[in-house]
Structure 1
Amino acid sequence: MKKLGIYIHIPFCTKKCGYCDFYSVKWNEVQEDRYIQSAIKEIQSYKRLGDKFVVDTVFIGGGTPSIIKAESIEKLLNEVKKIFTVKKDAEITMEANPNTLTEDNLKEFNRIGINRLSMGVQSLEDNILKKIGRSHNSKEALEAIDRAKSQGFENINADLMFNIPGQTVESIKETILQLIKKGIKHISFYSLKLEEGTPMYKLEKDNKITMPEEELERAMYHAGIELMEKHKLLQYEVSNFAVKGYECRHNLKYWNQDEYIGIGPSAHSFLGSMRFNNPPNLTEYIVSSEDEIFERNIQEFMTEEDLSFEYIMLRLRLTEGLNLSDFKNKFKIDFKEKYLEQIKYLTENNLAELSDESMKLTRKGMDISNYVFMQFM
């Protein structure tokens, strides 16, 4: 059977961070219980796929999944197991804010089968955390890592953000070193991009904050890469670094163009050649679930040409690049023949490297990856 990833969106937060444009609403227990019942019904709506796929990754994101009851998460996972065969070694990730993790709920999260935590650390500078509206401080973040490890969690990711006003190259390096000392096996290293509609976007438009210059942003990124790789956290994707064997299997599905379904308001799915998503509205989601009707927005039915371009773009985000044999098997196209001119241009300008087996981006190519991708359109 084919493998399937499942993303479950928990649309609750205690407060909204200044940079965040992901869909979420303020948590309350009544809404939590209503949402869980609705999400269970949506999982059941995919019953027809139960004998076609085996689930090997589940990613519970948000929002802030760690603010709801472990019992609620358990109900969702149990429903997934009723509908699908879930592999014994499935990767089951849950996002968490550091200040929501206690010994008691960590013990419960471990018991119900969560085997990978993704912590929204973002920074270990208290002034930076305050500036971006995070609800934890650096001490709470470091203590949460220790607490999680004491409760049996070895596979822990730390989300880390750079390009925040007030950050320096040295402060980024210090944060990374502290995480490495804590034994973190995976770091997602993102450059802050201000999205329209967020508080920080408005602050910049009103000239109340100034974003770092591009030269400093790149210096932070390169310093982070160098330091992490020195300590065996190897880059495997533009923004992701891991000790060998701890790469995020669920996120690799996105970059490998594998199939996945999304549960909950705003969640996205990819099945066959169709990309679709649920509307970002919790009230509508709950109401429609009462009639067991889930209205999904079809983003696109992808042609073979669409799929092949997207596959090139996704695979070139990975440091291992695009495997030429896999591309030919998937699309019945000889990559080197079809894209002869693009390959020549990219290799001559030190943006990509071509071997008999694959094409991958150079460090220079990674830096301007969007420009590289456009060459294949």
Structure 2
Amino acid sequence: MKKLGLYVHIPFCERKCNYCDFYSLVKTDEIEANYIESLLYELKSYKEVTKGYIVDSIFIGGGTPSYLRPDYIGLILDEIRNNFVLSEDVEISMEANPNSITLEKAKLYKKYGLNRMSVGIQSLDNKILKLIGRLHTSDEAINAIKILKKAGFTNINADVIFNIPGQNVENIIDTLSKIIDQDVNHISFYSLKLEQGTPMYRMEERGEISLAEDEEERAMYYAGRDFMEKNNYFQYEISNFSKKGFECRHNIKYWIGEEYIGFGPFSHSCFKDKRYNNISDIRLYCDNIKNPTKFRHLNEVLNIDSKIFEYIMLRLRMNKGFTLVDFKGKFNLDFEELYQDKIEKLVSLKLLIFQNGSVCLTKKGMDVSNYVFEEFLE
């Protein structure tokens, strides 16, 4: 059976963070109930078209899934089990904000079958947390990890953001050190990018804040990367580090080009050689749930050229890259012959390396990965 990943978007937040441009809104009981009813219907609608597939990863993201009534998480997972074939070792992840985690909720999540939690810590500096609009404190973040462990979770990710105005290398190491002391299994380590329309973007426009210069931003990244690797958190993708055996299966699915289906507004899918997304409007989504043409947009039918480029771009995000044998088997083409000039240029610039039949980015190449990808796009 073909492998399949499922992403479920929960578009509710208690309050939107100052840097966030994801689709989310404050919920009412009525909107929440209507949304869950529509979401369950969309899940059910895929029962027939996913025959021959086995789901090995489920990711409930947002928004703030832990802001949702916990019994709704149970309903969502029950509906998935009723309509999809799940592997015995399926990875079931959910995002949570520290201030919305309680022991009672955590125990229910465990009961419903969640086996991986991703905690949006971002920073353990209270001044930084206030600037970016987070609702939790440093102490609450650490306590959230302890609560999840007490409830029986052994697979926990911590999200960390660097390059926030006011941060420096010492600040980053302090946050990572405290998280590592809690013995989590995985750390996502992302550089802040200010998106147009967000409060922090407008603050930068007004000159109230400024992001670090490129050299300082890279210094934070290098320091964080080296510190995590010294503490046995191994980099397996540009922004992701884990202990051995705790790599995020769902995210790897994106990077190796496996199929996935997204549910709910703002979600994206890559299924049966088509890329499509649901509209970012909960009311239009709910009002038209029985007529997908009204809320689902086809973005692209993947042809051989786009498949090759996506394969290269996504696989090179991972430390191990890809093998020449796998490329040949997938596309019946020789990678070295196809991109001879590009390869020679990128190798000479020390951005790309060939070893043991594999091709991958160097650490320098990871710094300018978009440049490398653009070379192959041309």
**C-alpha distance in 1, partners of 2:290/2:134?**
35
Contact 2:228–2:234 under 8 Å retained in 1? yes
* Equivalent residue number for residue 273 of structure 2: 273
| Partner residue, 1:83 | 83
Paired amino acid for 1:302? L
The offset of 1:29, in angstroms, is 1.9
Count residues in correspondence: 377
Deviates more, 1:26-35 or 1:146-155: 26-35
Cα shift at 1:295? 2.9
**Which residue of structure 1 lines up, in the alignment, with residue 230 of structure 2?**
230
Partner of 2:96: 96
DSSP-derived class of the 1:289 partner: coil
Q: Are the equivalent residues in 1 in contact too, given 2:50–2:84 (CA < 8 A)?
A: yes
Matched, 1:329 2:329: yes
How far apart, in 2, do the equivalents of 1:246 and 1:42 lie?
31
| Structure 2 contact 232–243 (Cα < 8 Å) conserved | yes
1:52 and 2:91 matched: no
Cα pair distance change 1:339/1:190, threshold 3 Å: same
Kindly state the Cα deviation for residue 291 of structure 1 after the two structures are TM-superposed: 5.8
Distance between the aligned counterparts of 2:299 and 2:74, measured in 1? Answer: 31
Could you tell me the TM-score, scaled by structure 1's length?
Answer: 0.98
Residue number in structure 2 paired with 1:250: 250
Per the alignment, residue 308 of structure 1 pairs with 308
| CA distance in structure 1 between the partners assigned to 2:111 and 2:77 by the alignment | 12
Unmatched runs of 5 consecutive residues or more in structure 2: none
Aligned 8 A contact 1:121 1:158 in 2: yes
Residues 1:293 and 1:40: Cα distance change in structure 2 (over 3 Å): farther
Partner Cα separation in structure 2 for residue 291 and residue 217 of structure 1: 46
SS in 1 for 2:376: coil
**Preserved CA contact (<8 Å) 1:165 1:212:** yes
Residue deviations 1:329-363, cap 9 Å, x none? 11111111111111111111111111242101111
Match of 1:130 in 2: 130
Alignment of 1:258-297 (within 5 A): 258-289=258-289, 295-297=295-297
In the alignment, is residue 357 of structure 1 matched against residue 378 of structure 2? Answer: no
1:294 positional shift: 5.7
Any idea what the Cα deviations from partners look like across 1:214-266, whole Å, max 9, x if unmatched?
11100000000000000010000000000010000000010001000000001
Instruction: Kindly state the Cα deviation for residue 273 of structure 1 after the two structures are TM-superposed.
Output: 1.6
Tell me: CA distance 1:291–1:299, structure 2 relative to 1, closer, same or farther (3 Å).
Answer: closer
Q: 2:36 matched to which residue of 1?
A: 36
Q: Deviations over 1:166-220 (max 9, x none)?
A: 0010110011011110001100000000000100001101111111111110000
Per-residue deviation, 1:292: 7.1
Contact 1:42/1:294 (CA < 8 Å) preserved in 2? Answer: no
Contact 2:352 2:365 in 1 (8 A): yes
Give the counterpart letter for 1:24 in structure 2: S
Runs of 4+ that moved beyond 4 A: 290-294
The structural deviation recorded for 1:293 is 6.4
Q: Residues of 2 paired with 1:162 and 1:74: CA distance?
A: 34
Q: Could you tell which deviates more after superposition, 80-89 or 128-137?
A: 80-89
Structure 1 360/293 Cα, relative in aligned 2: closer, same or farther at 3 Å? Answer: closer
Amino acid at match of 1:296: R
> What is the CA–CA distance in structure 1 between the aligned matches of 2:243 and 2:294, rounded to whole Å?
40
Counterpart of 1:49 in 2: which secondary structure? Answer: coil
Deviations 1:147-173 (A, max 9, x none): 110110110000000000000101100
Deviation of the 1:50 alpha carbon = 3.6
In the other structure, the counterpart of 1:179 is: 179
Do the aligned residues in 2 keep the contact of 1:237 with 1:319 (CA within 8 Å)?
Answer: yes
TM-score (norm 2): 0.98
- Secondary structure of 1:24's counterpart equals coil
Distance 2:57 2:49 in 1: 15
Q: What amino acid maps onto 2:198 in structure 1?
A: T
Q: CA offsets, 1:93-114, max 9 Å, x none?
A: 0000001000100000000000
Q: What amino acid does structure 1 have at the position aligned with 2:77? A: L
**Is the alpha carbon distance of 1:294 and 1:76 closer, same or farther for their aligned partners in structure 2, counting shifts above 3 Å?**
farther
Aligned to 1:15: 15
Q: Mean alpha-carbon deviation: is it higher for 118-127 or for 294-303?
A: 294-303
- Report the Cα distance in structure 1 between the residues aligned to 2:293 and 2:100, rounded to whole angstroms: 33
Residue 160 of structure 1 is matched in structure 2 by: 160
Q: CA RMSD in A?
A: 1.1
Partners of 2:334 and 2:272 lie apart in 1 by: 22
Contact 2:106/2:148 (CA < 8 Å) preserved in 1? yes
Q: Which residue of 2 aligns with 1:141?
A: 141
SS of match in other structure, 1:26: coil
Separation in 1, partners of 2:206, 2:335:
48
